[in-house]
DNA sequence: TATTGTTATACTCTATAACTATA
DNA sequence: TATAGTTATAGAGTATAACAATA
């Protein structure tokens, strides 16, 4: 929805090329997703496999915790981890504390791959703002951070403060 | 990639809660995508079906044109339109100008549904910025617009100017 | 009983390759 | 020959429901 360039709604201060906040955020989101898709595809991975790797960068979660982090059903998580395990970057190990539980961790190859992909995503996403001044890039970063923090609160996940 | 809250890289001006431009854009993008997913799911549609409807809001493209607009293979487009047609909101009609071509259009029900979804997306995406002042919301909109315009140029699709 | 995880099943979405029909 | 579109096939990703094993 809200994807096609369209005339701005009346009654707002809208300089010639302002898409408005709705189309602006939706289109910006699509551009960032396209970067994630392109970078992961370059490593012959899906976006979801990339998401999995990024989550495992600094965690060794159980399947149940992983399902929660990914916001997926536990059965979907089983499939995702199965495919990642077959491809190599991830492995399971039995949790010594709980006989029911398996935890998921990057393999050495997986860690190297995750670093490479993370660097590439960082470079390409940052490059999206190459046309902005340092000041405006920083403003954008701060405004995004505000929206993110508010959304976290709305989800009840709120941060410290 | 680049999804987990993490310490800011050194050597930059980073107030306490600034995620940095990379994580800021990636996380903001995820939040917007989650809205699209939630709204379309509320109408028992996939995100892709919602994308299809939004594209058809002001077009009656051929299958080939639609494939280009969606950036999908023509066979994927066939399936997407098949499923949408079975569900009701979309139909095909033979192009009177070209015997090989079929064009795709919203049905009356589909148009109503598209309006409802578009309004809901607009409301929920706009609500993401409820915590910003009008000035800051406008700044965010302008900055997003700049990034979007630059990305369009980078894709060679550049706008008028 | 509750929790952890997998399996079976069904559906959406996607691409590649091969095909038909029209231009 | 080139273009428009579909079909066949294969695979990823997802959820629901039913199941096994452990707590």
CA-CA distance, B145 to B123, in Å (whole number)? 19
Cα dihedral: A84, A88, A90, A92 (round 10): 90
CA-CA distance, B13 to A97, in Å (whole number)? 43
Would the pLDDT of B10 be above 60? no
pLDDT at A19: 84
Which domains does chain B carry? Answer: 21-153 (1.10.10.10)
CA-CA distance, A63 to A80, in Å (whole number)? 10
Judged by CB atoms within 8 Å, which residues 74-113 of B form the interface with A? none
B125 with A22: Cβ contact below 8 A: yes
Q: What angle do CA B6, B7, B9 make, to 5 degrees?
A: 120
A126 with B22: Cβ contact below 8 A: yes
Would the pLDDT of A88 be above 70? yes
Phi, psi of A90 (to 5 degrees): -140, 150
Mind listing the pLDDT tens digit for each residue in B99-123? 999 999 999 999 999 999 999 999 9
Nearest to A1 among B50, B145, B159 (CB): B50
Would the pLDDT of A62 be above 80? yes
């Amino acid at each position: 929805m809200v994807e096609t360039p369209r005339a701005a709604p009346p009654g707002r201060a809208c300089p010639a090329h302002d898409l408005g906040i709705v189309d602006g955020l939706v289109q910006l989101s699509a551009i960032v997703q396209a970067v994630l898709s392109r970078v992961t595809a370059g490593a012959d991975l899906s976006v979801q496999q990339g998401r999995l790797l990024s989550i495992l960068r600094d965690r060794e979660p159980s399947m149940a915790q992983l399902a929660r982090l990914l916001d997926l059903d536990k059965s979907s998580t089983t499939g995702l981890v199965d495919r990642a395990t077959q491809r190599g970057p991830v492995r399971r190990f039995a949790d010594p504390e709980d006989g029911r539980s398996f935890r998921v961790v990057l393999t050495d190859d997986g860690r190297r791959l995750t670093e490479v992909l993370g660097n590439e995503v960082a470079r390409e996403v940052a490059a999206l703002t190459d046309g902005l001044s340092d000041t405006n890039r920083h403003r954008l970063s701060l405004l995004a951070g505000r929206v993110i923090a508010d959304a976290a609160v709305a989800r009840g996940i709120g941060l410290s403060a």
